[in-house]
């Protein structure tokens, strides 16, 4: 039994926030943001638009490409750190909207590595139990609602959006499996450098936590930067080694889109030419778990990859969490 990528989809909200807009909000400038991050603009969800609304749009497009209906789904997994609610899960909300009555649904929290972790879990579930034949995997975030719009160190970096992938199993021996190698990691000794401090059971929400801006992303940028480069290079090299596939045979590297300087530091160390590294951070900023799904969909619909091509996905995020998947698109 093999599993293939049957469809991809993505969605970004209509509203665009440019660097020039940010200049009016905090003490920053377009040149600083462009040169330090590569970001030119990002999309922000409307006030009445939640993470599930964006995941629904991305998922709908992925289902359409796969040629299947919501009711055909056996599971829905949503990678997100900005669920609509603490509970019920965003997955359950999507189930209702897709009419996916037979699907079991849950959210997976691995920050910016959310889509990679979710794909690995979905693939393993499908291998373990043949009843799960069609699984919708989404990465979706409304980071604008956990961004401190008064903090120039972080507010220039993030955006909203969603990406989705439909995995489908096949009994046809001629269909190759989409997952060739994976290398996923976490390191809980770095929980302090990238976190949202309050609102959980450790520091429940109070008037004080709100006043102290503890419901926003806090990040030690420089430290995260160094760890991100090393982690993505190490995981990327590992999947190349495990698969025995040469870097030259990789059609496209899709790194998590946090910062173009991180991406430019990772690419040469994987031995893949720069022109085979996908970048769209300039348009969307860092959309956390949504980022790789948006890239994969843009690459597929834009004709940069075709079925059968080797694609290396690599991500890094809070937790810390990181890893790489080598897939056959
Ligand atoms: C955040 C990040 C862009 C900052 O870039 P950097 O080159 O490390 O910049 P520094 O932190 O050294 O800051 C340099 C100066 O710019 C200032 N600065 C910070 N944000 C600024 C902004 N938006 N506009 C203008 N100046 C800014 C700082 O205050 C600092 O000033 P100082 O030297 O007077 O103290 C970079 O560290 C980064 O991308 N880190 C990784 C972030 C990330 O990917 N996180 C998510 C992981 S999933």
List the pLDDT tens digit at each of the 329 positions of the chain. Answer: 999 999 999 999 999 999 999 999 999 999 999 999 999 999 999 999 999 999 999 999 999 999 999 999 999 999 999 999 999 999 999 999 999 999 999 999 999 999 999 999 999 999 999 999 999 999 999 999 999 999 999 999 999 999 999 999 999 888 999 999 999 999 999 999 999 999 999 999 999 999 999 999 999 999 999 999 999 999 999 999 999 999 999 999 999 999 999 999 998 999 999 999 999 999 999 999 999 999 999 999 999 999 999 999 999 999 999 999 999 99
**Angle subtended by helix axes 90-98 and 51-66, to nearest 10:** 50
Q: Look at residue 173 in the predicted model and tell me its pLDDT.
A: 85
* Residue 174: per-residue pLDDT: 87
Q: 270 with 248: CB under 8 angstroms?
A: no
- Cis omega (within 30 of 0) for bond into 307: no
Q: What is the pLDDT of residue 314?
A: 98
Ligand 1 contact, 321 CB (< 6 A): no
Catalytic residue, chosen from 19, 259, 280, 286, is: 286
Its pTM stands at: 0.97
Between 114-128 and 291-301, two packed helices, what is the crossing angle to 10 degrees? 80
Question: Distance between CA atoms of 53 and 51, rounded to whole angstroms?
Answer: 5
All structural domains of the chain with their residue ranges: 2-170, 179-328
C-beta 278 within 6 A of ligand 1: no
Q: Token pair 């080797």 is at which residue?
A: 310
Cα of 220 vs centre of ligand 1, distance in Å, is: 9
The neighbouring-strand residues paired with 142 are 160
259 lines ligand 1 (CB under 6 A): yes
Nearest CA to ligand 1 atom 15: 153
Q: Could you check whether 2-170 and 179-328 share the same CATH topology? A: yes
The alpha carbon of 222 and the centre of ligand 1 are apart by a number of angstroms equal to 7
CATH homologous superfamily for 2-170? Answer: Thiolase/Chalcone synthase (3.40.47.10)
Q: Are 137 and 103 in contact (CB under 8 A)?
A: no
Q: Yes or no: is domain 179-328 CATH 1.10.10.10?
A: no
From the list 109, 108, 318, the residue with the least C-alpha distance to 227 is: 318
């Amino acid at each position: 039994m093999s599993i293939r990528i049957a469809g991809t989809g993505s969605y970004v909200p209509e509203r665009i926030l440019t660097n020039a807009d940010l200049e009016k909000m905090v003490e920053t400038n377009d040149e600083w943001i462009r040169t330090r991050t590569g970001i030119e603009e990002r999309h922000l969800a409307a006030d009445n638009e939640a993470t599930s609304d964006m995941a629904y749009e991305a998922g709908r497009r992925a289902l359409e490409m796969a040629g299947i209906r919501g009711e055909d789904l056996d599971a829905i997994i949503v990678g997100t750190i900005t669920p609509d609610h603490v509970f019920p899960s965003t997955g359950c909300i999507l189930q209702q909207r897709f009419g996916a009555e037979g699907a079991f649904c849950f959210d997976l929290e691995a920050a910016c590595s959310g889509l990679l972790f979710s794909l690995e879990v979905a693939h393993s579930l499908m291998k373990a139990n043949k009843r799960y034949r069609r699984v919708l995997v989404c990465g979706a975030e409304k980071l604008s609602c956990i961004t401190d719009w008064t903090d120039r160190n972080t507010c220039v970096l993030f955006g909203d959006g969603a990406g989705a992938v439909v995995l489908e199993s096949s009994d046809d021996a001629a269909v190759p499996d989409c997952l060739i190698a994976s290398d996923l990691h976490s390191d809980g000794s770095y929980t302090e450098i990238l976190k949202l401090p309050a609102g959980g059971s450790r520091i429940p929400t109070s008037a004080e936590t709100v006043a102290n801006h503890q419901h926003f992303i806090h990040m030690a940028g420089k430290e995260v930067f160094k760890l991100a480069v090393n982690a993505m290079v190490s995981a990327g090299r590992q999947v190349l080694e495990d698969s025995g596939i040469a870097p030259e045979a990789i059609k496209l590297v899709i790194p998590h889109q946090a910062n173009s300087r991180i991406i430019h530091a990772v690419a040469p160390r994987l031995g893949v030419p720069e022109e085979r590294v996908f970048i769209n951070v300039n348009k969307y900023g860092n959309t956390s778990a949504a980022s790789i799904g948006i890239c994969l969909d843009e690459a597929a619909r834009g004709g940069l990859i075709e079925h059968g091509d080797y694609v290396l996905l690599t991500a890094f995020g809070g937790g810390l969490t990181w890893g790489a998947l080598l897939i056959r698109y």
